[in-house]
């Protein structure tokens, strides 16, 4: 006879801790944004002061990530299993993994400037999670009690983290190279152009995005294979064009196209960067709309 | 060699044209566009229900959209992944792939056996370059050769310079990846042809025998031969479900399903007991058995007016909701004096609603109850047609007990016997068994699909992370020069040149 013990008060506490992490993330977001606006200043003194702001912003991000980690771990203990088996849990664990990968990546100095984008995105994810996706702790339905599923989801979330950072780099690239920014006809745009001016040069942004996307693509390929192995164990076939399988395939194929674009004359640069963002849009679509509204065998979003 | 032909367009001829088409088809741009087309073409299959994955959804779609559905069907939007247009895209893509990758394989094979290219005359034009003075008594070319060889470069000495190259694995990985994709496609196709999958519902005590008659339904692949079904019988001894009784937010959630079975491969085989769980199928040579569903099979006995048993046994009741309210159909053609049909509802934990109807409050058995509507008339079983055992066509029948009849529905607790109306006999609720739905399937290709997928994964990892670099060292009158070139963008290339320069200088000590 199997039984589980779900700890509801711990799960409530976990939610509070996650709210607390969101407060710190908000502070990190504001400070990083402030850093961006200061750094665009013409005055040398202010530009100097801004690098201190950058450090403060990143330190706040580290603290927020530690708090978030505590919240996620508490959720796992409360549910007596890994904390990634419904949409709410994917979101909080995914946000945590994204922050961890980002904070490791800032050893590459050019990545630091993305803090505002990444922390902003994490806030968006956490906000959506607690307001739209929240569910009480539940036991794992038998269909999900699989080692392959644990691996499959974890790797998918990690791949998504790499895709997200690449998307931030790509967005920066597009903002920097957009016609309306380069022409800078109004004063507001001119200020914005100065902000973009402190981002790495466009070749660097493009190359870094390419490298993050490569890692994401490799992890996503693994996700695809692990998913197929699990599907064979659970449903007797490794592939059945179930809705989520279809979207995993679509995302993989778009990113394969992106890699090709980077090696195809006439497609490198802006076009390839756009293609990478199309891939990321598919990732987000799959995570939200497909999970919530599309019918399929993967009916475990928990909503 | 074909240049003149190309300028002379009107005379380009059939071979010229086919060559032109082939060149277009195998270009990177075509591959890219076909990949994006494939991604786009996969989308509608996630929007509209597909016959392969969700046949009931398709039927429902036809009911709800009688006008639109046939149009969509004409464009094969309910069979996207087998449709002409989807197939056309991936067949073109793979043709392009083969046409692209085979020549590249030849080129790469030759490159592997050739020496690194000549040292360019002006090294300073290379993307990474450094010059340095030579410490006394040092031969930079010789030291450089040693260092680069130690790093896995292929090195060739040419006069006062060396030319070195590394990273052939990049192209190797890339080729392995693309060729493995062809392997995946073939394994999927051939494996699918020889595979089968079928369903069988077993109540506790029932036995599945692995032959055509043993399946409730079977979908064979194109080349499937029933003779190849391996001798096997599997008896469902016991089916257990653990429900959560303790956690408030989770009451009634299933925690585990276990089907205990005895498998035999021949009549002499004493049998062996195993447990099938969701995610843990029973793997036999030639067939695996997967647990895909479950429910209750109440045991019911009907005695007719003469007191003879006209129906008896465990009947599969299909679950309707999370609390396992289930519906079962009982057809008793041999009942005297009249045939009867029963639509029965089973509530594992029954509770009465204010309307007088029943509902189930918990999926486990706490307070089991059956309620029945009874019909008389010709059940149509003699016509020889195979009728759906899970449905009763009540249109031509007369309801004798139930909401639309003079006698209210029959309600039975476990162990109770009650009279049927109009002296038709009695009905008894003897006991409760469970049933398990099993998928029985085999796909001889899946091992190969996995193998080629892993090979592709390995190939793509090696291909994407190996940098391909050429490095040159040249001694000059005033010292030596180091330069490097990479096939693609390479963040470390300047570092490589800097490090190498340092080490060559150190080599003198
Ligand atoms: C099923 C179809 C295909 C898929 C999924 C696919 C996927 C990929 C991926 C993921 C890469 C990056 C891997 C690496 O660089 O090691 C790649 C690279 C490449 N692909 Fe494909 N490919 C496909 C078809 C084709 C076709 C039809 C061609 C030829 C026209 C082609 C030519 C190439 C080339 C030349 C590269 C190397 C690019 C570079 O230098 O980095 N591929 N492909």
Ligand 1 centroid from CA A295, angstroms? 33
Query: Quick check: A140 pLDDT over 90?
Result: no
What is d(CA A186, CA B208) in angstroms, rounded to the nearest whole number? 78
Q: Angle at Cα B168 formed by Cα B167 and Cα B171, nearest 5°?
A: 110
Residues 162-221 of A with CB under 8 A from B: 207, 210-211, 214, 217-218, 221
Instruction: Give the three-class secondary structure for B216.
Output: coil
Q: Find the helix or strand (DSSP H, E) in which B230 lies.
A: none
Segment A30-61, tens digit of pLDDT: 999 999 888 777 777 777 777 889 999 999 99
| Interface membership of B218 toward A (CB under 8 Å) | no
Tell me the HSE value of B335 on the side-chain side, using a 13 A CA sphere: 30
pTM to 2 decimals?
0.90
Query: Quick check: A137 pLDDT over 80?
Result: yes
| Block mean pLDDT (10 aa), chain B, length 509 | 44 80 86 96 94 88 94 96 96 94 92 85 88 84 90 88 91 96 97 94 95 92 92 95 84 90 90 93 94 94 92 94 93 88 95 89 94 89 70 86 87 94 92 95 96 98 91 89 82 86 77
Q: In this structure, what token pair is assigned to residue A295?
A: 């019918």
In a domain, A193, yes or no: yes
In a domain, A188, yes or no: yes
Q: Return the ligand 1 atom nearest residue A252 CA.
A: 5
In angstroms, the Cα distances linking B159 to A95, A271, B120, B147, B163 are: 58, 45, 13, 18, 10
Q: Find the helix or strand (DSSP H, E) in which B463 lies.
A: helix B446-465
**DSSP states of B173-215:** HHHHHHHHHHHHHHHHHHHHHT-EEEEEEEETT-EEESSGGG-
Query: Quick check: A302 pLDDT over 50?
Result: no
Residues 438-467 of B with CB under 8 A from A: 439, 441, 443, 446, 449-450, 453-454, 456-457, 460-461, 464-465
Decide: residue B334, CB within 10 A, 0-12 exposed, 13-18 middle, 19+ buried.
middle
In a domain, A259, yes or no: yes
Q: Which chain B residues have a beta carbon less than 8 Å from that of A234?
A: 278-279, 290
Residue of A nearest to B443 (CA): A237
- Write the Ramachandran bin of B154: left for phi over 0, alpha for psi from -120 to 50, otherwise beta: beta
In a domain, A159, yes or no: yes
What pLDDT sits at residue B2? 38
| B43/A250 Cβ within 8 A | yes
Q: Return the ligand 1 atom nearest residue B459 CA.
A: 16
Which residues, other chains included, contact A33 with Cβ-Cβ below 8 Å and sequence gap of 6+?
A116
Best residue among B91, B111, B175, B178 to mutate for probing ligand 1's pocket (most ligand atoms within 8 Å of CB) is: B178
Residue with tokens 């260092």: B147
Segment B255-299, tens digit of pLDDT: 889 999 999 998 888 889 999 998 899 999 999 999 999 999 999
| A253/B35 Cβ within 8 A | yes
Q: Whose CA is nearest to atom 18 of ligand 1?
A: A260
| B449/A233 Cβ within 8 A | no
Which residues, other chains included, contact B62 with Cβ-Cβ below 8 Å and sequence gap of 6+?
B69
Ligand 1 centroid from CA B97, angstroms? 8
Residue of B nearest to A241 (CA): B53
| Interface membership of B277 toward A (CB under 8 Å) | yes
Mutate which: B31, B33, B35, B248, vs A, most A CBs within 10 A: B35
What is d(CA A2, CA A8) in angstroms, rounded to the nearest whole number? 19
Q: Which chain B residues have a beta carbon less than 8 Å from that of A211?
A: 491
Decide: residue A229, CB within 10 A, 0-12 exposed, 13-18 middle, 19+ buried.
buried
In a domain, A24, yes or no: no
Q: Whose CA is nearest to atom 17 of ligand 1?
A: A260
What is d(CA B327, CA B372) in angstroms, rounded to the nearest whole number? 10
| A256/B449 Cβ within 8 A | no
What is d(CA B34, CA B189) in angstroms, rounded to the nearest whole number? 20
8 A C-beta contact, residue B251 and residue A139? no
Q: Which of B81, B255, B279 sits opposite A139 (nearest CB)?
A: B255
Mutate which: A166, A204, A230, A237, vs B, most B CBs within 10 A: A237
8 A C-beta contact, residue B439 and residue A235? yes
The boundaries of the domain holding residue A169 are 141-293
In a domain, A262, yes or no: yes
In chain A the first and final C-alpha atoms are separated, in Å, by 28
In a domain, A266, yes or no: yes
| Interface membership of A299 toward B (CB under 8 Å) | no
8 A C-beta contact, residue B209 and residue B463? no
What is d(CA B502, CA B507) in angstroms, rounded to the nearest whole number? 9
Domain covering B114-167+467-506 in this structure, CATH number? 3.30.310
Residue with tokens 């603290």: A63
Confidence of residue A20 (pLDDT cuts 50, 70, 90): very high
| ipTM, interface predicted TM-score of the complex | 0.92
What is d(CA A265, CA A201) in angstroms, rounded to the nearest whole number? 21
Number of domains in chain A: 1
What pLDDT sits at residue B383? 66
In chain B, domain spans: 13-109, 114-167+467-506, 196-442
Which residues, other chains included, contact B400 with Cβ-Cβ below 8 Å and sequence gap of 6+?
B340, B374, B375, B376, B406, B407, B420, B421, B422, B424
| Interface membership of B247 toward A (CB under 8 Å) | yes
Task: Report the relative pairing of strands B426-442 and B287-303 from DSSP bridges.
Answer: antiparallel
**DSSP states of B316-378:** -BEE-STT--EEEEEEETT-SSS-EEEEEEEETBEEE-TTS-EEES-SSSSB-EEEEEEEES-
In chain B the first and final C-alpha atoms are separated, in Å, by 56
Mean pLDDT of chain A: 90
In a domain, A111, yes or no: no
Ligand 1 centroid from CA B178, angstroms? 7
């Amino acid at each position: 006879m199997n039984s589980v013990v779900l700890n509801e008060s711990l799960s409530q506490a976990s939610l509070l801790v996650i709210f607390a992490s969101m407060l710190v993330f908000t502070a990190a977001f504001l400070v990083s944004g402030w850093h961006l606006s200061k750094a665009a200043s013409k005055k040398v003194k202010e530009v100097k002061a801004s690098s201190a702001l950058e450090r403060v912003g990143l330190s706040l991000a580290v603290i927020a990530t530690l708090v978030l980690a505590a919240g996620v771990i508490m959720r796992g203990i409360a549910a007596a299993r890994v904390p990634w088996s419904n949409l709410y849990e994917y979101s909080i664990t995914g946000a945590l993994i994204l922050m961890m990968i980002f904070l490791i990546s800032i050893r590459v100095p050019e990545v630091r400037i993305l803090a505002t984008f990444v922390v902003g995105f994490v806030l968006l994810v956490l906000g959506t999670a607690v307001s739209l996706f929240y569910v009480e702790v539940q036991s794992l339905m038998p269909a999900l009690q699989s080692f392959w599923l644990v691996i499959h989801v974890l790797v998918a979330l990690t791949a998504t983290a790499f895709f997200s950072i690449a998307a931030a780099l790509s967005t920066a690239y597009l903002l920097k190279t957009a016609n309306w920014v380069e022409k800078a006809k109004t004063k507001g745009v001119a200020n914005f152009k100065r902000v973009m001016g402190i981002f790495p040069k466009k070749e660097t942004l493009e190359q870094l995005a390419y490298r993050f996307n490569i890692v994401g693509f490799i992890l996503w390929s693994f996700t695809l294979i692990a998913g197929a192995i699990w599907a064979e164990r659970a449903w007797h076939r490794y592939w059945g064009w179930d809705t989520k399988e279809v979207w995993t395939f679509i995302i993989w194929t778009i990113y394969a196209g992106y890699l090709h674009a980077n090696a195809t004359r006439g497609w490198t640069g802006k076009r390839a960067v756009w293609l990478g963002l199309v891939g990321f849009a598919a990732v987000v679509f799959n995570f939200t709309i497909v999970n919530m509204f599309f019918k399929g065998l993967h009916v475990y979003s928990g909503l | 060699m074909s240049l003149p032909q190309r300028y002379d367009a009107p005379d380009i001829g059939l071979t010229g044209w086919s060559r032109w088409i082939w060149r277009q088809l195998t270009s990177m741009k075509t591959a890219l566009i076909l990949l994006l087309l494939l991604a786009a073409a996969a989308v509608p299959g996630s929007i509209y229900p597909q016959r392969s994955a969700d046949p009931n959804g398709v039927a429902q779609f036809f009911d709800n959209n009688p006008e639109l559905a046939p149009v969509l069907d004409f464009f094969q939007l309910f069979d996207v992944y087998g449709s002409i247009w989807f197939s056309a895209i991936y067949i073109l893509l793979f043709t392009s792939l083969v046409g692209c990758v085979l020549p590249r394989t030849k080129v790469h094979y030759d490159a592997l056996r050739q020496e690194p290219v000549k040292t360019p005359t002006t090294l300073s034009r290379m993307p990474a370059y450094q010059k340095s003075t030579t410490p006394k008594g040092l031969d930079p070319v010789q030291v450089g050769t040693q260092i680069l060889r130690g790093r896995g470069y292929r090195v060739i000495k040419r006069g006062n310079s060396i030319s070195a190259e590394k990273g052939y694995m990049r192209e190797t990985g890339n080729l392995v990846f693309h060729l493995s994709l062809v392997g995946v496609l073939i394994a999927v196709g051939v494996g699918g042809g020889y595979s089968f999958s079928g369903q069988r519902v077993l109540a506790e005590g029932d036995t599945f025998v692995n032959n055509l008659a043993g399946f409730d339904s079977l979908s064979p692949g194109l080349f499937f031969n029933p003779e190849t079904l391996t001798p096997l019988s599997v008896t469902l001894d016991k089916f257990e479900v653990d429900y959560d009784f303790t956690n408030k937010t989770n009451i009634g959630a299933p925690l585990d399903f276990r089907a205990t079975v005895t498998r035999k491969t021949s009549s002499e085989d004493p049998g062996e007991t195993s447990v099938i769980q969701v995610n843990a199928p029973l793997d036999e040579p030639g067939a695996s058995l997967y647990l895909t569903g479950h429910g209750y099979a109440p045991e019911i006995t009907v005695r007719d007016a003469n007191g003879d048993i006209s129906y008896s046994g465990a009947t599969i009741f299909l679950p309707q909701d999370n609390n396992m309210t289930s519906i079962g159909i009982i057809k008793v053609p041999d009942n005297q004096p009249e045939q009867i049909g029963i639509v029965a509802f089973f509530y594992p934990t029954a509770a009465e609603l204010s309307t007088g109807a029943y509902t189930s409050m918990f999926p486990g058995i706490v307070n089991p109850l059956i309620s029945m509507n009874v019909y008389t008339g010709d059940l149509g079983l003699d016509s020889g047609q195979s009728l759906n055992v899970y449905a009763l066509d009540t249109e031509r029948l007369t309801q004798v007990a139930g909401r639309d009849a003079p006698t209210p529905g029959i309600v039975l607790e476990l162990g109770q016997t009650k009279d049927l109306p109009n002296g038709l006999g009695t009905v008894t609720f003897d006991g409760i068994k469970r049933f398990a739905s099993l998928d029985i399937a085999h796909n001889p290709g899946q091992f190969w699909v996995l193998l080629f997928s892993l090979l592709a994964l390995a190939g793509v990892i090696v291909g994407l992370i190996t940098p391909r670099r050429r490095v040159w060292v040249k001694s000059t009158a005033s010292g030596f020069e180091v330069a490097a070139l990479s096939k693609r963008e390479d963040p470390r290339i300047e570092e490589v040149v800097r490090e190498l320069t340092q080490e060559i200088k150190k080599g003198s000590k």
